């Protein structure tokens, strides 16, 4: 076999619980489907502005179908989707995780969303930092966050977590009948 000098990372898993000061991340499971639907439905207008899938989430059954996909991806170690719980009350405040991993190129991409009522409490910032630590320890070299060019809150999370703006991707996403520009933020593993 031809050796091109490419060192592919071994597939890895992430812990069943990752706890911070304010937030606890646990794998997305069906026990959270109703609460996730309530979060999406109660924050529908807020989330829809930047997330292309909100209009397709009209019932708990829609959430269940997506949870099935996320659970299968977790088993295959192709993606890791979490729910974010308030550490003290254990109420669901948001969700997200690693939806793209390249074991070949040693990078991973975050995605996340939050109940509109929970904005400003630091849950997402802490979740990003917790996942960053886990991923860097497992050999990921580059972490990526992309967000709609107008999503100032998501861009602020990336900046607070030390991600650098690498550029604007023109018409990178098609949502609700039009193409949207996205910002690309990245952070390099400082231990590499």
**DSSP string across 50-119:** T-TTGGG--SHHHHHHHHHHHHHHHHHTS-EEEEEEETTT--EEEEEEEEEEETTTTEEEEEEEE-GGGT
Asked whether residue 126 carries a pLDDT value surpassing 70, the answer given is yes
pLDDT band at 132 (very low <50, low <70, confident <90, very high): very high
pLDDT band at 49 (very low <50, low <70, confident <90, very high): confident
pTM for this prediction: 0.91
CATH 3.40.630.30 fits 18-188, yes or no: yes
Residues above pLDDT 90, as percent of the chain = 86
What residues does each domain of the chain span? 18-188
pLDDT digits (tens, 9 = 90+) for 56-83: 999 999 999 999 999 999 999 999 999 9
Tokens read off for 189: 């593993």
> 172 by DSSP, 3-state: which?
strand
- Rounded to the nearest angstrom, the gap between the alpha carbon of residue 104 and the centroid of all alpha carbons in its chain is 20
* pLDDT the model gives residue 3: 59
State the DSSP code for 11: P
């Amino acid at each position: 076999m031809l050796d091109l000098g490419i060192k592919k990372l071994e597939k890895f898993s992430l812990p069943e619980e990752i706890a911070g000061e304010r937030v606890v991340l646990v794998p997305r499971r069906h026990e959270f489907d109703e609460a996730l639907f309530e979060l999406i439905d109660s924050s529908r207008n807020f989330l829809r502005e930047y997330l292309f899938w909100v209009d397709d989430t009209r019932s708990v059954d829609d959430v269940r179908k997506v949870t099935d996909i996320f659970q299968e991806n977790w088993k295959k170690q192709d993606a890791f989707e979490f729910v974010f719980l308030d550490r003290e009350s254990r109420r669901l405040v948001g969700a997200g995780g690693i939806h793209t991993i390249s074991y070949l190129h040693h990078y991973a991409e975050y995605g996340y969303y939050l109940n509109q009522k929970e904005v400003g409490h630091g849950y997402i910032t802490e979740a990003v930092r917790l996942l960053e630590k886990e991923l860097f320890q497992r050999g990921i070299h580059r972490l990526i966050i992309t967000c709609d060019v107008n999503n100032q809150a998501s861009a602020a999370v990336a900046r607070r977590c030390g991600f650098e703006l690498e550029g604007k991707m023109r018409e990178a996403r098609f949502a609700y009948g039009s193409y949207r520009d996205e910002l690309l933020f990245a952070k390099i593993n400082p231990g590499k």
